[in-house]
Amino acid sequence: MASTTPKLISDKNEMRNWSRSMRAQGKLIGFVPTMGFLHMGHLSLVSQARSLCDVVAVSIYVNPGQFAPSEDLSTYPSDFHGDLRKLASLPGGVDVVFHPHNLYDYGNNSGDAVVEEGGAAASCLESLGLGHESWVRVEKLEVGLCGKSRPHFFRGVATVVTKLFNIVEPDVAVFGKKDYQQWRVIQRMVRDLDFSIKVIGAEIARENDGLAMSSRNVRLSPEEREKALSINKSLLKAKSAAEDGQVHCDKLKNLVIQCITDAGGRIDYAEIVDQNNLRPVEQIKGPVVFCIAAWFGKVRLIDNMEINLSMDD
Ligand code: PAF
């Protein structure tokens, strides 16, 4: 049983040693990577890890590798002490919070603070001039959906998650299905690169009124928040239309786009894609997921809904 106050670790070697000593005691290690500013959605991932494993580590690290130079890394919200309180209040708590200062500081910087070329995929990491030059890419899954407007994003995520997996050495890692593409990218990476880690996709945690939980929700004004409810409402409508026999994706997409734009949202993308390869489909013939990104004021929200029709009739 974990003590309610998690052990805080910031050093990579100490983190690895902790995991190795747990494994030597025969304990199954669960892991939830986060960037902090935790909400109930994160806590549900931690509870799932807790239910599957003997010990649980949570990382809190805002990764410069997944922010574009145009995205403001320094204003990413944080509430470290609040996060610790929330984690400690969970039944069983968590065992370790891994909170590294800089995961890309290798202590031997050559001083070549050059802004390296990253092409379309350049991130804030290059501008730190730390000499990091190894990236993990999941070449096909990373390009569509959020990858279209954020070409730097998934290589940054896959790379930092690889680093975290190599440091924490978990048996089980839990990711939220709200970030559906991220979950699929990590699953594919784990399969392709033979990580010995079971990746769990946890169902989307929603507020009572259906809004998917997200750290960004606090930036919505009350009016924008009300308008943003159109995302879940329209996805539910599309799902039930599909269940009633409407399998033409154009029709389903129009329904959702109309509903969100009528409410005052601005669509970034509305795509119905195959659940496994995330390629757009024209007609629903198997398991698909309807993925949405939409702006409400200055806040970009993502959400999705899996549609699993029985194809027997
Ligand atoms: O989902 C997130 O919070 C981040 O993308 C992750 C997985 C912690 C990697 O930085």
pLDDT in tens, 30-85: 999 999 999 999 999 999 999 999 999 999 999 999 998 888 788 888 999 999 99
**Catalytic status, residue 101:** no
Question: Which string of DSSP letters, residue by residue, matches 100-125?
Answer: -S-TT--S---S-------GGG--HH
- Tens of pLDDT, residue by residue over 274-312, are 999 999 999 999 999 999 999 999 999 999 999 999 876
**Mutation probe of ligand 1 site: the residue of 38, 63, 164 with most atoms within 8 A of C-beta:** 63
Edge to edge, the sheet with strand 266-274 lists 266-274, 288-296, 299-307
- CA of 161, closest atom in ligand 1: 9
Q: Which residues pair with 289 in a beta bridge?
A: 273, 306
Distance from the alpha carbon of residue 66 to the mean position of ligand 1, in angstroms: 9
Three-point CA angle 291, 76, 36, nearest 5°: 80
Atom number in ligand 1 closest to CA 34? 8
CB burial string 274-298: b at 16+ within 10 A, e below: ebeebeebeebeeebbbbbbbbbbe
Going from the Cα of 34 to the center of ligand 1, the distance in angstroms, rounded, reads 5
What residues have CB less than 8 Å from 265, skipping those under 6 apart?
Answer: 227, 228, 230, 231, 294, 295, 296
- Indicate the SS3 state at residue 173: strand
In order of their start, the domains of the chain are 7-202 (3.40.50.620), 219-305 (3.30.1300.10)
First to last CA, the chain: 49
pLDDT of residue 51: 97
Instruction: Give dist(CA 172, CA 49) in Å, integer.
Output: 7
Distance CA 35, CA 99 (A): 10
Q: Is 117 a residue whose pLDDT tops 60?
A: no
* Active-site entry in 42, 99, 132, 152: 42
Protein residue with least CA distance to atom 9, ligand 1: 157
CA of 33 to the centre of ligand 1 (A): 6
Q: Where are the alpha helices (DSSP H) in the chain?
A: 12-24, 40-52, 80-89, 124-127, 146-149, 153-168, 180-192, 222-243, 249-263
Q: 131-158 pLDDT, tens per residue?
A: 899 999 999 999 999 999 999 999 999 9
pTM for this entry: 0.94
Average pLDDT over residues 243-264: 98
Residue 312: CB partners within 8 Å, gap ≥ 6?
none
Phi, psi dihedrals of residue 159, rounded to the nearest 5°: -70, -45
Alpha-helical (H) ranges within 29-152 are 40-52, 80-89, 124-127, 146-149
Nearest residue to 263 (alpha-carbon basis) of 232, 239, 289? 232
Q: Is the CB of 288 under 6 A from ligand 1?
A: no
Ligand 1 and 34: CB distance under 6 A: yes
Cβ contact 161:189 at 8 Å: yes
Largest CA-CA distance found in the chain, in angstroms, rounded: 65
Please tell me the distance from the alpha carbon of residue 112 to that of residue 85, in angstroms, as a whole number. 40
